[in-house]
Amino acid sequence: MMYDSDNIFAKILRGEIPNETVYEDDYVLAFNDIAPLASTHILVIPKGQYVDMTDFSENATPEEIVALNRAIATIVKDRNLHLNGYRLISNAGKDGGQEVPHLHWHILGGEKIGPLRNIS
């Protein structure tokens, strides 16, 4: 799939749409989801233009890949989510229910969340 630079996260990265930033470095931006499904619901995105995890894993630089993974750990530990647990989800494509075609990891936690099959 070709990257569509009109997607909403591309606009957030360009500063055209506001966001509640919780973490940022040279390669990564993380912000609160606008429609949270748990008391903590953070989206973690690469600043580079990648559609989904397949695209990212095949085409991102080692630095970008390490930065995204480390950012998730930093955010989780800053909020003590590792103590009681959390869930990571990255939807891809039509069957995966991906709404925004820029790679993002959902970090869900801060309370006991339901079984995976109940996440809408």
The identity of residue 85, as a single letter, is G
Provide the pairing of β-strand 105-109 with 86-89.
antiparallel
Contact segment (CB under 6 A) with ligand AMP among 21-29, 50-58, 70-78, 95-103 equals: 95-103
**Site membership for ligand AMP, residue 99 (CB under 6 A):** yes
Contact segment (CB under 6 A) with ligand AMP among 31-39, 57-65, 69-77, 79-87 equals: 31-39
**Site membership for ligand AMP, residue 100 (CB under 6 A):** yes
Residue 104 bears catalytic tag: yes
Which residues, numbered 37-66, are part of the site for ligand AMP (CB under 6 A)?
A: 43
Of the candidates 36, 19, 17, 50, the one whose C-alpha atom is nearest the C-alpha of residue 107 is 36
Out of 41, 82, 102, 104, the active site residue is 104
Q: Which residues lie near ligand AMP (CB under 6 A)?
A: 8, 17, 19, 31, 33-35, 43, 91, 97-100
Active-site residues: which are they?
A: 104
